[in-house]
Amino acid sequence: MHSGVGNIWYIYATVFHVLLLGSIFVTYFRSPVIQGLKPQQPLPREAPAKRLVLIVADGLRAQSFFYENLSNVPNLRQLIKEQQGLLGISHTRVPTESRPGHIALIAGFYEDPSAVTRGWKENPIEFDTIFQHARRTYAWGSHDILRIFNKSSRRDVEGRLTFDAYNHELDFWGKVKSYELDKWVFSRVEDFLKRKRKILQKVDKVYFFLHLLGLDTAGHIHKPQTALFLENLFITEAGIYKIYRLFEQIFEDQKTAYILTSDHGMTDSGSHGAAQPHETETPFYMWGAGINSKSYSTTKYIKLDSNTAMPLYEIEQAQMTPLMSALLGLPPPVNNLGILPRYFLNVSDEYIARAAECNAYQLLEQYKHLLKKHKSGVLSFLLPEYEALSWPSINAIKSYLKQAHFVEDYQTVTNISYNLMEMTLEGIGYYQSYYSMPLLLATTVAMLSWTKYLFNLLNLKKMDSLESVEFKAIVAFCILQKLSWQVSLYLLLPIPVMSLALRDETQGLTPLTFGQIKINITWICAACCFTPKQSQNNKVEVLY
């Protein structure tokens, strides 16, 4: 028997270490994107804006924008004085990269950790975006960004998406004069608007998306705060001002909303990806149709000159998604996790109520999907659940909302909707991390058992094949609860490893006794009953 131990040892070790590595992915890197969700209906009221211009200045950090009373962006400062609107900081999450930043803005959820398997370069799973709900979307910019939203558009019915991207040759040329990238976008937009003026004036629910890569390129090559970066910033902000004038000239109906922001910031040394404030704090300026000129009361102000100051608001990056949807009267994308910043809208109480309710139902749809999946397990009646949103309480809230609608008490509709949204987000976190703690425990036990096994090997104890009753018990649990094979695998992992470790001690083929099984089932149950808590890393207090 000893002769065989040597070879088996290698196989066990290889398999175990590969599995251990995989456990990280199963426990932490799981996609938040739920598939097969039903979208909500468009809002049944006239939207405050007919078109929305989203301008993303790639890699522009808040510090560069707000520096010295906005002296880096004189044209925009002038615009802010004329147009008012809202100014503030949008908080991004890590990794502060272009793809996750744009997805947070346009699809409303943060990084899909499963994208690590693709080097953060693309999303393995399809998702919904604001563009899919619009009548038309016109976008200009770098191919790398635009293709994210082309790929995810399941069916580009009637050619609703029109993308105009420059190729990598221009990318390369842009490294000398990075602002040429932005000038390219501005001139294409100008051309397009002038050419299609007549058609464009007739359609509503349209997005114009301008992706300006110049500042990101300049930041990487020259570093922010250098003269060359500031030159690029000056050209870009002057271009934005000009584009705004052009839009107003072509669309004279005062029904255009504008949002200027960026996908992520940049450090002084010209990098991004991590969680420094320079990377996670991006500026936003929004103005035009449907945008308030005053939001909630804040104590932070930014001076424009000696006698003008503007309040500085804060927002989570993903909140842009429901905001843009609401401005055009559209439902938020189905995978959105952002909450509508209601004080940013200048609309009637009824409109706010309907937009908030739509947002709440859109979030609830994701929660219901998770709850249904959990409840489809045969043993779920034994397991803890998220009490605040059980089926009966969901139905109660729904009928409460209906009643409030019936008597046109829109304040109450809004209040209930916001409560529902907060509970829903918590509930989504609860079910998405339901098996995290048991998985963590199982991996730890497997690791400890492995160490014990190695220890036994060193002492040249006798080895035997494994066979266990707990194994069957956990298999039964996984099947009855309809867990995915990955989760099942890692819940089961400690058993073979433990029996490897323990069999040596008992020195024989005696099957496990009933007492031992009970103890082991106890820890599994204990692990499962460890109510998982959502780890919300909201550092900033954002008012909705």
Binding-site ranges for ligand NAG (CB under 6 A): 68-69, 71, 150, 161-163, 292-294, 303, 305, 346, 411-412, 415, 502, 512, 516, 519-520, 523
Dihedral sign (CA 75, 77, 78, 82): positive
Q: Which residues ranging from 231 to 290 are in contact with Zn ion (CB under 5 A)?
A: 263
C-alpha atoms less than 13 angstroms from C-alpha of 2 in its C-beta half-sphere: 6
Q: How far is the CB of 147 from ligand NAG (least distance, A)?
A: 7
Residues 253 and 185: their CA atoms lie apart, in Å, by 24
Residues 122 and 112: their CA atoms lie apart, in Å, by 10
Residue 187 makes CB contacts below 8 A (sequence gap 6+) with none
Q: How far is the CB of 504 from ligand NAG (least distance, A)?
A: 11
Structure tokens at 471: 């194994």
Structure tokens at 316: 């989570």
Give, in order, the Cα–Cα distances in Å from 19 to each of 188, 447, 491: 51, 11, 12
Q: How far is the CB of 164 from ligand NAG (least distance, A)?
A: 8
Crossing angle of helices 179-202/214-222, nearest 10°? 170
Q: Which does 98 bind (CB under 5 to 8 A by kind): ligand NAG, Zn ion, none?
A: Zn ion
Structure tokens at 397: 């809230």
Q: Which helix (H) or strand (E) holds 200?
A: helix 179-202
Q: Which does 263 bind (CB under 5 to 8 A by kind): Zn ion, ligand NAG, none?
A: Zn ion
Q: Which stretch binds Zn ion (CB under 5 A): 24-32, 94-102, 168-176, 531-539?
A: 94-102
Q: Return the DSSP state at 161.
A: E
Of 238 and 521, which CB lies nearer to ligand NAG in the complex structure? 521
Q: Which does 502 bind (CB under 5 to 8 A by kind): Zn ion, ligand NAG, none?
A: ligand NAG
Exactly one of 98, 129, 142, 232 binds Zn ion (CB under 5 A); that residue is 98
Residue 380 makes CB contacts below 8 A (sequence gap 6+) with 374, 481
Query: Are 58 and 272 a contacting pair, CB within 8 Å?
Result: no
Number of Cβ atoms within 10 Å of the Cβ of 458: 8
Of 66 and 186, which CB lies nearer to ligand NAG in the complex structure? 66
Residues 190-229 as x/- pattern, contact with Zn ion by CB under 5 A = --------------------------x-------------
Of 178 and 414, which CB lies nearer to ligand NAG in the complex structure? 414
Q: Which does 415 bind (CB under 5 to 8 A by kind): Zn ion, ligand NAG, none?
A: ligand NAG
Q: How far is the CB of 379 from Zn ion (least distance, A)?
A: 46
Number of Cβ atoms within 10 Å of the Cβ of 508: 10
Number of residues that bind Zn ion (CB under 5 A): 5
Q: Which does 225 bind (CB under 5 to 8 A by kind): Zn ion, ligand NAG, none?
A: none
DSSP code per residue over 379-411: TGGGS---GGG-HHHHHHHHHHHHHHHHTT-HH
Of 287 and 430, which CB lies nearer to ligand NAG in the complex structure? 287
Of 280 and 292, which CB lies nearer to ligand NAG in the complex structure? 292
Q: How far is the CB of 38 from ligand NAG (least distance, A)?
A: 25
Structure tokens at 451: 């160490």
Of 92 and 98, which CB lies nearer to Zn ion in the complex structure? 98
Of 163 and 450, which CB lies nearer to ligand NAG in the complex structure? 163
Query: Are 234 and 64 a contacting pair, CB within 8 Å?
Result: no
Query: Are 511 and 467 a contacting pair, CB within 8 Å?
Result: yes
Q: Which does 293 bind (CB under 5 to 8 A by kind): ligand NAG, Zn ion, none?
A: ligand NAG
Of 338 and 494, which CB lies nearer to ligand NAG in the complex structure? 494
Q: Give the residues across from 88 on adjacent strands.
A: 284, 313
Q: How far is the CB of 98 from Zn ion (least distance, A)?
A: 3
Of 211 and 368, which CB lies nearer to Zn ion in the complex structure? 211
Query: Are 73 and 237 a contacting pair, CB within 8 Å?
Result: yes
- Does the footprint of Zn ion cover residue 58 (CB under 5 A)? yes
Q: Which does 216 bind (CB under 5 to 8 A by kind): ligand NAG, Zn ion, none?
A: Zn ion
Using CB under 5 A, list all residues that contact Zn ion.
58-59, 98, 216, 263
